[in-house]
Structure 1
Amino acid sequence: MSTATLVGIDLGKHSFHLHGQDSSGREVFRKKATRQQMMRLLGNLPACTVVMEACAGSHCLARQLVALGHEAKLISPQFVRPFVKGNKNDFIDAEAICEAASRPSMRFVTPKTEARQTLSVLHRMRDSLVRDRTKTGNQAHGFLLEFGISLPKGLSLVRRLPSTLDEHELPPRLVALLTRLHQHFCYLDEQIKALDKEMATQLEADDLGSRLLTIPGVGPITASLLSVEMGDAKQYGGSRDFAASLGLVPRQYSTGGRAHLLGISKRGDKNLRRLLVQCARVYLQRLEHQQGALADWVRSLRERRHSNVVVCALASKFARIAWAIATHHSRFEARPGVSVA
């Protein structure tokens, strides 16, 4: 075991399967262990490279392994699957992780720090609360429609639901149920506002997030999520690689030397891609107030392309600008005659 230079771990909730290889790729050990047994085993090993799939618990374990002196690497599960040989089991998965990690062209995921992982939890909680609030508002609309009351679209009238109930003659039990639904709606609304304040506070203390706010059209939510997902951006070879990881570049189906580009690939983080597209739409709505090389490029593109194509191209440009800001430790400046990243 002391000759192991590469260790692959198939993660689980309570049991972990380890596969160790030496420098020549020969199997050194294969073990099943609990979390405590695994940490004791890895703590006794000489410094080596430990590889896992990027999944639940992997970022925390990577930080613990770095503290033990090992080099921790995370691989996206989609890149491990082609290396699974024969039937699938946990030991074969751990061996496939080692095989994938030994490829010189393999791409790895940068482990998140505790602060960035906590901020990621905040974003997921907020998204869940927003979905619950929308569902509650739609329920109120649907229940009232069953009794012949049609409200306009939007959540603003749901916030004033008690006054709406006073204006119509409805069964007392229905009024009580809708009042309870309105209280739940108000609770969700307050929780979302509290998370927004906490997110703004954390963004002020985040240097990268503050600099990402200088991008026109990018708000606190998008800047905060960009800071969480991108980190120091060193894992990307260039700005286009980061845009491609978000699915904002064309999907390619080329053969015989003839390039055939399709629509955007839509891979990666769906939520972050949606936010960047929304930022691009906001920028287009206020294009007459924008100046600089970016605004000139958008105006020229809008004359030649459909608005939806322009929005996707601008969202990809925002991703490239964010990468440049992260890697060059700079801010966005909309100066005329200066090319953007």
Structure 2
Amino acid sequence: MNEITRVGVDLAKGVIQVHAVDATGRVVAAKALPADRFAAWCVQLPAGCLVAMEACGGAHHWARKLRGYGLDARLVAGHFVTPYRMAGKGGKNDANDAAAICEAAGRPHMRFVPVKTPAQQALLAIHRLREGYKEDRTTCINRICGLLTEFVIVFAQSPEALRLGLADVLEDASNELPGIARLALQEGRLHWIELECHIASCDERITAHVRSDEQAKAAAQLAGIGPMTASALVATVGDFKQFKNGAQFGSWLGLAPRQNSSGGKTVLGRTTKRGDDYLRTLLIQGAKSAVMTAHKRSDKISQWLVQLLARVGWQKAVVALANKNARIVWALLAKGRVFDPKHVSVKPGDVAAIPAVMPA
């Protein structure tokens, strides 16, 4: 065990595959361990040993636990591991994946996923539950509308219209709804109300987080970033200093354009849509609201938006604002700056040099 310098770990529910090498890259151990014996095996590793795992369910928990043992636990994104699997896409198994993770972690240029704290994961759990409740609510509403359509009772395509009229329909004895159908639809209505209560409870917790967290409070100042987006950004990213600039942060969110450049000719395409879909969706939806109301505001960003909207159209303006908001959030939270809606960015080359000695 003392010869091991790097370990690749393929996590699973019941069996965990490990692939350990020494300083020269020679394989020292490659075996499967029961999940309850994995921690005991890691305790025997030398202090400071690099233990790499693919970022997946339970990975952040194991990384925190192994760091408590004095090990250098790191997480690798899955799409960075695949190119190092020697057997290719057709040879995917636990042993090959552990070897690929071990190889990827040894590359000097590899980028690792920051380990989340329990508080971050708890807050993200609220966001995920809220998204699930929203999907269930939509399903419930569509199910009720579909069942009513069977009896030629049609509402406008709006949840609010159904909410206002459903109780009256169930109480109206003049329609052809059988008694058993009324009871079933009433249960569906109660389920809808229950889902609304769950969503409201999640909203209360997220709002409380924004009020108590300085980073989330700073991000929520921007037009197009509300409490939901600010909370999700802070909980997901944690330390914004892991990105060297705002452009890298925007690219990580999938808001940067694709490139197909060669021979010195730059060709840009659609956005890459990489990274966290949830964060990107929140930024885009918030940007849509800000673009629609830009003509009502007089700050520099809103004036820029009005001109951009006239020049490139609605969709491109929305994505551009989402990317700009992401860059501004990085500047605020990575550098500790205060948001100024009237700030005008100036390229370094456009700033005149200040003379070393002021003239008399």
TM-score normalised by the chain length of structure 1 = 0.95
Query: Residues 34-54 of structure 1: CA distance to partner in whole angstroms, max 9, x if unpaired?
Result: 233221121122221110000
2:350 paired residue number = none
Q: Rate the CA distance shift 1:339–1:182 in 2: closer, same or farther, 3 A.
A: farther
Query: Residues 147-166 of structure 1: CA distance to partner in whole angstroms, max 9, x if unpaired?
Result: 11211122113333112333
- Correspondence list, 1:151-170, <5 A: 151-160=155-164, 161-167=166-172, 168-169=174-175, 170=177
2:284 paired residue number = 277
Per-residue deviation, 1:338: 5.0
The answer to which of 119-128 and 199-208 deviates more is 199-208
Q: Rate the CA distance shift 1:92–1:338 in 2: closer, same or farther, 3 A.
A: closer
1:4 paired residue number = 4
Match of 2:184 among 177, 189, 193: 177
Match of 1:315 among 322, 326, 345: 322
The answer to which of 314-323 and 57-66 deviates more is 314-323
Would you say 1:140 and 2:144 are equivalent positions?
yes
CA distance in structure 2 between the aligned counterparts of 1:316 and 1:93, rounded to whole angstroms: 34
The answer to whether the 8 A contact 1:49-1:73 is kept is: yes
Q: Percent identity?
A: 36
Match of 2:255 among 236, 241, 248: 248
Q: Secondary structure at the match of 1:303?
A: helix
AA partner of residue 77 (structure 1): G
Would you say 1:114 and 2:118 are equivalent positions?
yes
CA distance in structure 2 between the aligned counterparts of 1:262 and 1:36, rounded to whole angstroms: 48
Q: Secondary structure at the match of 1:12?
A: coil
CA distance in structure 2 between the aligned counterparts of 1:145 and 1:90, rounded to whole angstroms: 50
Per-residue deviation, 1:313: 0.8
Per-residue deviation, 1:130: 0.5
List gaps (5 residues or longer) in structure 2.
Answer: 348-360
Q: Secondary structure at the match of 1:228?
A: helix
CA distance in structure 1 between the aligned counterparts of 2:125 and 2:106, rounded to whole angstroms: 32
2:34 paired residue number = 34
Would you say 1:57 and 2:58 are equivalent positions?
yes
- Correspondence list, 1:298-337, <5 A: 298-337=305-344
Per-residue deviation, 1:205: 2.2
Q: Secondary structure at the match of 2:19?
A: strand
Alignment length (residue pairs): 340
CA distance in structure 2 between the aligned counterparts of 1:252 and 1:338, rounded to whole angstroms: 25
- Correspondence list, 1:74-223, <5 A: 74-86=75-87, 87-160=91-164, 161-167=166-172, 168-169=174-175, 170-223=177-230
Q: Secondary structure at the match of 1:304?
A: helix
Q: Say what the alpha-carbon RMSD is for the aligned residues.
A: 1.7
Per-residue deviation, 1:14: 1.4
Query: Residues 260-318 of structure 1: CA distance to partner in whole angstroms, max 9, x if unpaired?
Result: 21111111111211110111111112112333332232223223111110001111111
AA partner of residue 22 (structure 2): D
The answer to whether the 8 A contact 1:239-1:320 is kept is: yes
The answer to whether the 8 A contact 1:83-1:100 is kept is: yes
The answer to which of 292-301 and 37-46 deviates more is 292-301
CA distance in structure 2 between the aligned counterparts of 1:88 and 1:184, rounded to whole angstroms: 43
AA partner of residue 288 (structure 2): R
CA distance in structure 1 between the aligned counterparts of 2:294 and 2:98, rounded to whole angstroms: 52
AA partner of residue 34 (structure 2): T
The answer to whether the 8 A contact 1:159-1:186 is kept is: no
The answer to whether the 8 A contact 1:292-1:337 is kept is: no
CA distance in structure 2 between the aligned counterparts of 1:221 and 1:14, rounded to whole angstroms: 36
Q: Secondary structure at the match of 1:326?
A: helix
1:45 paired residue number = 45
The answer to whether the 8 A contact 2:287-2:321 is kept is: yes
The answer to whether the 8 A contact 1:109-1:235 is kept is: no
Per-residue deviation, 1:219: 1.1
2:274 paired residue number = 267
Q: Secondary structure at the match of 1:324?
A: helix
CA distance in structure 1 between the aligned counterparts of 2:62 and 2:274, rounded to whole angstroms: 26
The answer to whether the 8 A contact 1:214-1:331 is kept is: no
Query: Residues 199-222 of structure 1: CA distance to partner in whole angstroms, max 9, x if unpaired?
Result: 211222222111111112211111
The answer to whether the 8 A contact 1:108-1:235 is kept is: no
Q: Secondary structure at the match of 1:234?
A: helix
Query: Residues 66-92 of structure 1: CA distance to partner in whole angstroms, max 9, x if unpaired?
Result: 111111111111110111112333222
Query: Residues 24-65 of structure 1: CA distance to partner in whole angstroms, max 9, x if unpaired?
Result: 222222232123322112112222111000000000001101
AA partner of residue 106 (structure 1): M
